[in-house]
Amino acid sequence: MATLRDDDRHHPVLDRLRMPLPVLDSLACPHCRGSIGPAGNALRCTSGHSFDVAKEGYAGLLTGAGTTGTADTADMVRDRQGFQEAGHYAPLASRIAEAAAPALADGGLAADVGAGTGYYLRNVLDRSPDAFGLGLDLSKYALRRAAKAHPRAGAAACDAWRGLPLRDGAVSALLNVFAPRGADEFHRVLRPGGALIVVTPGPDHLGELVGALGLVSVDARKEERLEETLSPRFERTGGEDAGFTMRLPRSDALTVAGMGPSARHLAPGELERRAAALTEPVEVTASFRIGVYRPR
Ligand SMILES: C[S@@+](CC[C@H](N)C(=O)[O-])C[C@H]1O[C@@H](n2cnc3c(N)ncnc32)[C@H](O)[C@@H]1O
Ligand SMILES: [Zn+2]
């Protein structure tokens, strides 16, 4: 197969793919793990598996085997982006960027599994100016945005439960923010000395809304289960519990209540009816656990 380095013919696919070359070089075929390069109007691996590039600029690296995950819908992605762009989670984004910075001090790749719109990846790359980024997600609505998240980042469609389309040891910092995780694949793609950063909601996350809107609260055993999943492959080296108070217009309080799984048991319209009783600004606790791990 022709790769960019040994072939300077023009590949039209590179006009469409919004992906810096070091990021393209870090990809691996989801079928055979061969390296992936441009081939005419598509991407192709060394054994000939072929992949499309979406017109929005992300690589389509799904295997076609059917998906096992739950991709975010257009509405979910729009709501999440609106909430993030309003800055309500900015303190979390900057802590994630700080946590990733040591592993990216000499550059390297930051990959975000279940990246959504690429908001956290963008903050990581702003903080670590020599690093490149890759956003991975199952949702085409998320990927359309993730592909444009940062000039040093690209995006690819994948089903994280079926493996990650990355070469062994290609990643210096792996982000996983409220998204699917698999310890074996995370371990395979991280370089020795790399960092895995996992963010989960803390026990009092959105506590005020749990009471006022009748949401389901965070499962207290979640943290325990996370450690059980990761500990065969990873050792926890740091992290912090991050908490802050958000002052939200009622509409954003509704949005954040709808962003998690917590409101899905309510009848349609019920969340809005209960939210009408909230006084503005609505003070809401944001609480997160940021875990930093290194591969064993
Ligand atoms: C709760 S959202 C979090 C998004 C982002 N990390 C954030 O915090 O803004 C979970 C994300 O995981 C994606 N997702 C769900 N199942 C997936 C899978 N099997 N593989 C890859 N991504 C998946 C969804 O499409 C969604 O974007
Ligand atoms: Zn292949």
- Does some domain include residue 65? no
Q: Are residues 118 and 263 in the same domain?
A: yes
Specify whether 156 is located in the same domain as 265. Answer: yes
Mutate to test the pocket of ligand 1, among 78, 124, 137, 177 (most ligand atoms within 8 A of CB): 137
> Which CATH number do you get for residue 81?
3.40.50.150
Q: Based on the structure, what is the number of domains in the chain?
A: 2
pLDDT digits (tens, 9 = 90+) for 145-196: 999 999 999 999 999 999 999 999 999 999 999 999 999 999 999 999 999 9
Host domain of residue 37: 13-57
Q: Are 50 and 78 found together in one domain? A: no
Question: Cα torsion for 167, 168, 171, 173, to the nearest 10°?
Answer: 140
Q: Are residues 24 and 79 in the same domain?
A: no
Among candidate residues 111, 148, 96, 124, the one with its CA nearest the CA of residue 289: 96
CB of 23 within 8 A of CB of 108?
A: no
Query: Is the pLDDT at 210 greater than 60, yes or no?
Result: yes
Predicted pLDDT of residue 224:
82
* Spatial distance between the Cα atoms of 92 and 100, rounded to a whole number of angstroms: 12
Q: Is the pTM of this model over 0.85?
A: yes
Q: Is residue 113 part of a domain?
A: yes
Whether pLDDT at 222 is above 90 = no
Please state the atom number of ligand 1 nearest to the C-alpha of residue 84. Answer: 9
- Residue 205's pLDDT is 92
Ligand 1 atom nearest residue 162's Cα: 19
